């Protein structure tokens, strides 16, 4: 499987260009008679001496003063300003024409300047003109909008490492000192300057002298914390590729080598820790890359880049490998599990895991491994997923992991101008404006034998040069890489591309093969309609020239996966927090990055290492803090992201607690933490039996957020606050549609370490049924502590499943109602299972086509391995009339021996069910499999009803009724019980011997 398809969470490679302004070193002095100007070829802003309209006091015949009179506001919308502006534009054109330069853009109001691409000779000529005040490299994209350390307040806007939280906590040289960050990813590129360091003495076999960590105590126990990793040799990797920055390198290629033939491996892949993709280098340098590394991309100077914890050490664990087959390769679970073990054993303090994970469960093999890592004192950050803005797509829903959403932090925009005058701003880093050019829809320029979809999506080789040469092409986003689309346009002779979203999604500025502007789904219809007209043209202008409101940051990235989580019945809010994840500049691997040493990537893969690196920064200052203390400190001090109109976003299912804020998280005052015992009780409560552990409900887990997916009338939830300092905090909570009471009006801490529990009772007033109401718990005192709250009121809280046995029988259904009155119960079924007993070979796909008729209430598909040490996967696809899969209707692909997919109210169609034999139990070569399918609807077998029906209910009180059946033959059966105003039914399973 190609690596990005296999789960590395990258929404697409993006890039931008900006120029740096030269600055002197701190404390240095310079003496010069005039500013020094670099006059090489490049893109320049030519600033003229004549003032812009805001400062023009008059003096030119025929042109009245435009400067506002004292006490008045400047008004640009006057005839005299228009006349003066036209005068300046003519003068600018005259000066540019004198050296043979073309003017790209002009300013005449606040300043008098024009922008032009100049040769070195043209720049020198203009610099010597009396009318010219100065020439400066184009700084339209300011450095402090994409440099995340400055955006996050880690350093001052000067970019010298002074000021900000690095300086406040001991300086850059101590930011993360004594901390090791383990990166589980696609490897690392050791030659990158982000990972440079002095040689590290090692034994011949690559076992390093232990690195002593600053975290010498944990939970008040001396643990002699040391890092004892290895530098494993392999393809194009020697022991001396490690150093005192990159202190560990391991790789886990066994599964990849066993699954992928040599001729199917990506040409840039290495069977070693060397990065064959660029993704791992990017995440590693974002988390803990060296400070002040000069970065340029395709000749454009981006100034310097730094990791979040530049003094921390890096240990790379390569678990992902690239190949050319979409059905193999990727990040094997076995590799990840081995890497987690080694990372914990080696002694890392932080793990970053920018790889996809389960969305429907909190406990799979990887999540459970991370539970062990967290229990060992390792902070684990993981990416939330790139399936936004669709709801309930968030991955990594385990509470011991800090799950990170992606936010914007930079604005890279240009404007597409249609020949009819319409302007549309979009994501773009094209440094050169594009003059008016013929415009065509890709759908009108297809090349046989490409399909209609391939043409619409500008697939490689799908465009006809006869229709595209010399034109700008409109292409739909989707399926193919964004940059592959512009390459297809260039291949066909096109000179520009307008890339349009067809559904809500992110806008991304990439390094494209031709000048490109990426527009949203709102603009798409108008763009396509105009492009279909005779003589349609388009041009690209630099920056946002629409005159509309500027794009605000930070916003949640369109691709960032959302809650509410499918796991835990939505009783845990995920993601936990947001961090920069769009257009993040960091190191990459040149062979797979088109020769680039640095690039801008977007994805929750990029937001996660920000949080991992910030955790390392915190550990460097507070080595005694636990991972959950760090997590709570980040969450409770975060701030709201913004909507497009600039208002607060306040959606916990998009941003979690909010955007991470390093200026506040060192002093949270109070923290809300959990530990291994609670996590195991939580796991037990999720239906995963653990010997000797008592279960707890998911919402009872002491995490710095509050959620309940089904609230019948009211609920009481307790959180325990641990003081990191003395003080008194007042307690408030607000959730629209609920009244809130607390058992304590305030929390008082006498000394650090004291704990106070507060119980919050939420009672529904007028919150709409079956929809989440969200708000916050806020504690105000020496610090401000804020936790998100999400509550979903329902008419009745009922179990997901009840089970019974016998050809005649009954099962008790315990419920709690959200109102007083009578509850009608609607039964459907019972349906008998169609059962197939078979032996499934490892790697085999067993397929069945199942017809689901109209009116079906539920269709359930179950694959059960006889040996629980085996691993089956289950996929269900909806087919079209031709028998071709058109949708993945459901999947269950965990590390379990048993998998189930249930479709509620499925679309009437034929479905393809695929049972995959992923792995046999140790010592076995095949998997003994029982497959069951149920189609529940229409007339059921035997009799099936509720007693009593209706059920008398009282708001907030527990009661019960019985599901009753009779007249069944031997077999396994499934029925459905539905309730008005409820989110989900109760499934009744019956085993009749």
**Catalytic residue numbers?**
185, 279, 605
HSE-up (13 A, CA, CB side) for residue 191: 12
Three-class SS of residue 611? helix
For 776, phi then psi, to 5°, come to -145, 150
Output DSSP code: residue 726: -
Residue 191, token pair as written in the block:
């030659």
- In angstroms, what CA-CA distances link 607 with 175, 272, 577, 645? 19, 26, 10, 23
List phi, psi (to 5°) of 7.
Answer: 135, -5
Residues 77, 209: Cα–Cα separation, whole Å? 71
Nearest to 796, CA basis, from 652, 946, 974? 946
Question: CA 848, CA 863: separation in Å to the nearest integer?
Answer: 12
Distance CA 587, CA 593 (A): 10
Strands 784-793 and 755-764: unpaired
SS3 447: coil
The strand ranges marked E within 442-515 are: 472-476, 496-500
Backbone angles phi, psi at 653, to 5 degrees: -80, -10
Coil, strand or helix at 241: helix
Q: Is 35 exposed, middle or buried (0-12, 13-18, 19+ CB in 10 A)?
A: exposed
d(CA 501, CA 476): 6
Virtual CA dihedral for 207, 211, 213, 214, nearest 10 degrees? Answer: 180
Q: How far apart are CA 180 and CA 183, in angstroms?
A: 10
Phi, psi dihedrals of residue 301, rounded to the nearest 5°: -85, 120
Largest Cα span, the chain: 105
**CB-count exposure of residue 935 (10 Å: 0-12, 13-18, 19+):** buried
Residues 542 and 434: their CA atoms lie apart, in Å, by 9
Are 957 and 816 in contact by the 8 Å Cβ rule? The answer is yes
**Angle, alpha carbons 858-859-864 (nearest 5°):** 130
What is the rounded CA–CA span in Å between residue 520 and residue 525? 10
Cα–Cα distances (Å) from 230 to 344, 661, 968, in that order, read: 13, 34, 63
Name the strands in the sheet holding 714-723, side by side, starting at the edge strand that comes first in the sequence.
670-671, 714-723, 755-764, 738-742
Question: Radius of gyration over alpha carbons of the chain, in Å?
Answer: 31
Phi, psi of 303 (to 5 degrees): 75, -130
Instruction: Tally the residues of the chain.
Output: 993
* 728-to-663, 753, 784, 865, 907 alpha-carbon distances in Å: 22, 14, 11, 56, 56
């Amino acid at each position: 499987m190609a690596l990005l398809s296999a789960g590395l969470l990258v929404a697409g490679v993006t890039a931008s260009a900006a120029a740096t302004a030269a600055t002197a070193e701190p404390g240095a002095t310079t003496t010069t008679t005039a500013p020094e100007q670099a006059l090489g070829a490049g893109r320049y802003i030519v600033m003229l001496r004549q003032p812009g309209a805001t400062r023009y006091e008059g003096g030119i015949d025929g042109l009245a003063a435009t400067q506002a009179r004292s006490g008045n506001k400047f008004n640009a919308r006057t005839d005299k300003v228009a006349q003066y502006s036209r005068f300046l534009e003519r003068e600018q054109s005259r000066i540019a024409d004198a050296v043979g330069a073309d003017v790209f853009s002009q300013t005449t109001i606040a300043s008098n300047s024009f922008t032009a691409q100049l040769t070195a000779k043209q720049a020198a000529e203009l610099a010597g003109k009396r009318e010219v005040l100065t020439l400066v490299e184009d700084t339209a994209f300011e450095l402090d909008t994409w440099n995340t350390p400055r955006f996050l307040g880690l350093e001052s806007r000067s970019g010298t490492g002074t000021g900000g939280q690095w300086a406040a906590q001991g300086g850059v040289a101590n930011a993360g000192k004594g901390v090791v960050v383990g990166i589980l990813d696609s490897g690392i590129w050791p030659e990158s300057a982000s990972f440079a360091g002095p040689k590290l003495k090692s034994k011949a076999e690559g076992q390093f002298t232990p690195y002593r960590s600053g975290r010498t105590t944990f939970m008040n126990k001396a643990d002699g914390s040391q890092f004892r990793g290895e530098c494993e040799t392999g393809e194009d990797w020697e022991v001396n590729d490690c150093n005192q920055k990159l202190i560990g390198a391991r790789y886990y290629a066994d599964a990849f080598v066993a699954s992928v033939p040599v001729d199917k491996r990506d040409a840039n892949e290495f069977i070693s820790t060397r990065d064959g993709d660029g993704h791992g280098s990017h995440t590693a340098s974002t988390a803990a890359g060296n400070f002040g590394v000069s970065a340029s991309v395709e000749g454009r100077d981006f100034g310097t880049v730094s990791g979040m914890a530049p003094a921390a050490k890096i240990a790379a664990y390569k678990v992902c490998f690239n190949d050319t087959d979409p059905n193999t390769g990727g990040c094997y679970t076995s590799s990840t599990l081995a890497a987690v073990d080694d990372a914990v054993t080696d002694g890392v303090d932080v793990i970053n895991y920018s790889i996809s994970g389960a969305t429907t469960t909190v406990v799979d093999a990887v999540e459970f491994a991370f539970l062990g890592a967290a229990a060992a004192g390792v902070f684990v950050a993981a990416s939330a997923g790139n399936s936004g803005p669709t709801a309930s797509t968030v991955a990594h829903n385990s509470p011991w992991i800090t799950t990170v959403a992606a936010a914007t932090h930079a604005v890279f925009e240009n404007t597409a101008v249609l020949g009819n005058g319409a302007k549309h701003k979009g994501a773009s880093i094209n440094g050169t404006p594009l003059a008016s050019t013929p415009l065509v829809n890709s759908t009108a320029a297809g090349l046989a034998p490409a399909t209609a979809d391939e043409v619409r999506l500008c697939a490689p080789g799908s465009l006809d040069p006869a229709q595209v040469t010399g034109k700008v092409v409109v292409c739909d986003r989707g399926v193919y890489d964004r940059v592959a689309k512009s390459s297809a346009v260039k291949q066909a002779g096109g000179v520009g591309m307008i890339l349009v979203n067809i559904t809500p999604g992110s806008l991304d500025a990439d390094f494209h093969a031709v000048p490109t502007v990426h527009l949203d789904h709102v603009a798409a219809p108008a763009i396509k309609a105009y492009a279909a007209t005779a003589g349609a043209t388009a041009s690209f202008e630099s920056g946002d020239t629409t005159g509309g409101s500027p794009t605000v940051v930070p916003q949640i990235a369109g691709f960032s996966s959302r809650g509410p989580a499918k796991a835990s019945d939505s009783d845990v809010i995920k993601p936990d927090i947001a961090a920069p994840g769009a257009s993040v500049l960091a190191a990459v691997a040149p062979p797979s990055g088109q020769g680039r040493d640095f690039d801008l990537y977007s994805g929750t893969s990029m937001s996660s290492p920000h949080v991992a690196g910030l955790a390392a920064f915190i550990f460097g200052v507070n080595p005694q803090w636990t991972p959950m203390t760090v997590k709570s400190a980040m969450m409770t001090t975060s701030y709201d992201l913004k909507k497009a109109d600039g208002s607060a976003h306040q959606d916990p299912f998009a941003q979690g607690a909010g955007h991470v804020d390093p200026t506040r998280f060192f002093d949270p005052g109070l923290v809300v933490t959990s530990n291994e015992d609670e996590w195991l009780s939580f796991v037990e409560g999720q239906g995963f039996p653990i010997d000797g552990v008592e279960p707890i409900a998911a919402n009872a887990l002491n995490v710095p957020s509050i959620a309940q997916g089904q609230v019948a009338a009211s609920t009481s939830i307790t959180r325990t606050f641990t003081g990191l300092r003395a003080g008194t905090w007042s307690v408030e909570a607000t959730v629209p549609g609920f009244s809130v009471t607390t058992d304590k009006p305030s929390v008082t801490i006498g000394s650090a370490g004291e704990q106070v529990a507060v119980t919050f009772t939420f009672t529904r007033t007028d919150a709409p049924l079956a929809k989440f109401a969200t708000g916050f718990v806020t504690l105000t005192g020496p610090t401000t502590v804020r936790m998100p709250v999400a509550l979903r009121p329902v008419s009745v809280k009922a179990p997901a499943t009840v089970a019974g046995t016998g050809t005649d029988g009954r099962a008790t259904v315990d419920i709690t109602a959200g109102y007083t009155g009578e509850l009608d119960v609607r039964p459907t079924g019972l349906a008998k299972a169609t059962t197939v007993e078979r032996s499934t070979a490892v790697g085999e796909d067993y397929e069945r086509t199942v017809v689901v008729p109209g009116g079906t209430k539920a269709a359930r598909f179950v694959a059960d391995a006889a040996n629980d040490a085996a691993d089956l996967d289950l996929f269900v696809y909806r087919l079209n009339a031709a028998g071709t899969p058109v949708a993945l209707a459901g999947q269950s692909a965990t590390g379990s021996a048993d998998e189930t997919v249930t479709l509620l109210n499925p679309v009437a169609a034929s479905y393809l069910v695929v049972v995959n034999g992923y792995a046999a139990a140790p010592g076995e070569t095949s998997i003994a499999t029982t497959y069951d399918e149920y189609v529940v609807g229409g007339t059921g077998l035997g009799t099936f009803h509720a007693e009593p029906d209706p059920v008398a209910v009282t708001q907030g009180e527990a009661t019960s009724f019985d599901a009753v059946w009779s007249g069944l033959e031997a077999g396994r059966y499934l029925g459905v019980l539905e309730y008005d105003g409820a989110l989900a039914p109760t499934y009744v399973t019956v085993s009749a011997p």
